[in-house]
Chains A and B, each alone.
Chain A
Amino acid sequence: MRIETPHFKDNAHEALKDKQLQKALGGLPGGLVAQRAAARAKLPEFETLRDIGRDLRNETLELLDVYLETYERNATAAGAHVHWAETAEDARRIIVELCKAEGAQLVTKGKSMISEEIGLNDALEEAGLEVVETDLGEYILQIRGETPSHIIAPAIHLTQEQVEADFRRVHDDLPADRALVEPAELVGEARRVLRQKFLAADVGITGANFLIAETGSSVIVTNEGNGDLTQSLARVHIVITSIDKVLATREDLATILRLLARSATGQECTTYATLSTGPRRPGDVDGPEAYHVVLLDNGRAELLGTRFREVLRCIRCGACMNHCPVYGAVGGHTYGWVYPGPIGAVLTPALIGIEKGANLPNASTFCGRCESVCPMRIPLPKLMRHWREADFEAGQPPLTQRMALKAWTALATRPRLYHLAMRFGAAVLGAAGTWRGRFGWLPLAGGWTKHRDLAAPQGRTFQQLWAETQRGVPR
């Protein structure tokens, strides 16, 4: 996927002006927020389960190499072929080669963010294969030539009217006067079109929400059932996933499943959770004849050794973006790469480099809602702050910002000078602002006052007021 992260600010301006997008965003995230809250209220143990989920993911990451080896051993014993890919390019090459070796022409795909991360569709198409996304949201994006704007609701930025127009444009062999007004009619049409693809596909590619070391299984979690048709009707099933997805046991999966759907959509559970282990067995009458799993690193092994390790606990539920005021205002595309929202602000700089991703950790109000809802209790604001520091250390911010911070440091590390300067500032601003009590414009603060007023100080500093309170001076 093309990296657009450096254009975050321009994209955000565009997004705020985009009426279609604002209409699409208007209805949804609020609904998901309320649904999550309702699901949480119905499960009294939810907060404790979050602690447990965090701990068991930490334990697995602490022994990641051992669990991956165990996973590989058990998967291989069940007949799986496990492939290791250091980079996105390696993963693309492995999958293209597997498809070619199978003489494949048509590839169906379940939803996979890792496949977006590695730009898999383009690679397969360049190799002459027809690729069809089968998750309804992903299918709509594919026919529009777009990328997902949300990790679990990829087409959340589109309205029903836009989808209708796209179906009329692309399904041009169907009668032009057909009814396509109800969502059910649109879903029905996509269902009929995609059925043919499921049945004709040579290779089915899915992601994996999780891997289970104990049994060598890969797990997908869906509501549509498209992933299941993708993987059970094609001759070959290829799983593309990353090394951080491994869990120890099926019991651990139970805990994680209790958190995932409730955090994501407020469902008690998703309609389907599917554990796949090897290819079809003797005696089976359906299922794939071959089963491959591609394990992608792409920077994660290194990330494990940094202060960003905790982000690897992420189970990709999307709660952080559903609750993010910035995401809610500008949508996912503005973030410019695969992972939007708070998780994207932490993960993207790690995967594409802070030089390109610096805008994202800065696009935050630090309100903390993401951390307060993250089922894995990832301290997203803290990690964003770490990226800001890393960005600053790398000398990226503009000169004025760095000068200002240097000046601030000079003051803040010298208490007496600081108090003197603050008293002076508060007195001057207090006197200048007495007329209205606020400023519509101030020199050096244009970035702030352009969109809001700055309240005028009341003439004394906090330290002065505090000292007076301590002395019992009436206010």
Chain B
Amino acid sequence: MSVARTAILGRIRASLKAKAGDEARIAAANTRIATHANQLVPERARGPEQGRVALFRSFLEGQLASVIEVAGDDAVPAAINTYLQQMELPARLRMGADARLAAMPFAAERGLVVETGPAQADDAVGLSHALCGIAETGTLVMAAGGDNPVTLAFLPTTHIIVVRRDTIVGSYEEAVSKVRDALGAISMPRTLNYISGPSRTADIGGKIVIGAHGPRNLAVIVTG
């Protein structure tokens, strides 16, 4: 244990007039973490299921993302191909090892080249699968890893995210529950990203410019 650590914790306890190893205080913190109670969840995040995708969609579009709804996984590659053509983007994308993406019929898309692995410096398009979506702000929750490498979300000029319709929840709190369900009570991936639009900046004269360092284009494909 470092000297600095002991000194800092000692100063904090002196300021709080608390003792090290005070069982009641430790229990209070542990209980708060173990119960991880929701605070106030806004009304808009608690709305009925029917309106949820529309809310999710409207916020994303407000942030200048494209939202494309398709009937099922089999329709995803064609939707991507069409989007790339409409945006006049190269028909070449990269994705990770995600089994859900791998099961989609990309081979049937003529002219669409699919590569795998983490993003390379000159990649134009990255494709990832979201863990879930959050309607209250139009946010995608991405659990990064070998399945969905984090660099795919930030290096390429265009990022495409596939999200299953039935995983779009109302609130941040529900999304956290989904992370717990997928990974365990307190486990996290190396990187968990909340993404709510293409990258942007207002650092030059206060004017909003889309495409700062991350993607210029964000397309969200809602499937299922």
Q: Interface of A with B (CB < 8 Å)?
A: 24, 27-28, 31, 43-45, 48-49, 52, 56, 59, 62-70, 74, 78, 83-86, 90, 134-137, 140, 153-156, 158-160, 163, 183-184, 186-188, 191, 194-195, 198-199, 213-215, 217, 223-226, 228-229, 232-233, 243, 248-255, 257-258, 265, 268-281, 283-287, 295, 297, 301-306, 309
Contact = CB atoms under 8 A, between A and B. Distances in A.
Nearest to A254: B172
8 contacts: A64-B12, A86-B8, A191-B211, A214-B186, A229-B154, A253-B172, A254-B38, A275-B193
Contacts of B17: 305
A274 B151 contact: no
B193 A272 contact: yes
A268 B33 contact: no
A48 B28 CA distance: 24
Contact of A84 (B5, B145, B189): B5
A258 B15 CA distance: 30
Contacts of A27: 205-206
Interface stretch (B66-74, B101-109, B114-122): B114-122
B181 interface: no
A48 B40 contact: yes
Contacts of B189: 277, 281
A184 B204 CA distance: 9
A275 B44 CA distance: 24
A84 B4 contact: yes
Contact of B11 (A191, A250, A302): A302
A63 B28 contact: yes
Interface residues of B, number: 83
A321 to B, nearest CB: 15
B204 A268 contact: no
Contact of B190 (A63, A66, A243, A281): A281
B26 A271 contact: no
A64 B16 contact: yes
Contacts of B29: 63, 66-67, 70, 213, 248
What's the dominant secondary structure at chain B's contact region? loop
A278 B5 CA distance: 20
B213 A194 contact: yes
Contacts of B4: 84-86, 90, 297
Contacts of B190: 276-281, 284, 287
Closest 8 pairs (CB-CB, A-B): A225-B214, A305-B15, A254-B172, A160-B205, A301-B11, A224-B212, A137-B203, A304-B15
B205 A183 contact: yes
Given A137-B203, A265-B202, A286-B118, A66 B26 contact: yes
B63 interface: yes
A65 B12 contact: yes
B150 to A, nearest CB: 5
B83 interface: no
Contacts of B13: 65
Given A84-B2, A254-B173, A271-B195, A228 B153 contact: yes
Contact of B149 (A191, A285, A302, A309): A285
Contacts of B173: 251, 254
A135 B203 contact: yes
A213 to B, nearest CB: 6
A65 B20 CA distance: 9
A232 B191 contact: yes
Contacts of A66: 25-26, 28-29
B213 A229 contact: yes
Interface string B10-50: 01111111101000011011101100111110111000000
B193 A271 contact: no
B149 A250 contact: no
A271 B36 contact: no
Contacts of B200: 223-224, 271
A276 B14 CA distance: 31
B176 interface: yes
B106 to A, nearest CB: 19
B39 A56 contact: yes
Contacts of B28: 63, 66
Interface string B53-86: 0000001001100000000000000000000000
A86 B211 contact: no
A213 B25 CA distance: 15
A313 B99 CA distance: 43
Contacts of A67: 29
B20 to A, nearest CB: 8
Nearest to A306: B15
A370 B30 CA distance: 34
A24 to B, nearest CB: 8
A27 B207 CA distance: 10
Contacts of B214: 224-226, 228-229, 271-272
Nearest to A111: B203
B205 A65 contact: no
Contacts of A137: 201, 203
A49 B43 CA distance: 12
Nearest to B134: A269
A199 B117 CA distance: 16
A158 B206 CA distance: 9
A304 B29 CA distance: 18
Given A225-B154, A273-B193, 10 more contacts: A43-B44, A183-B207, A215-B188, A226-B214, A248-B29, A250-B36, A251-B38, A255-B40, A283-B145, A284-B149
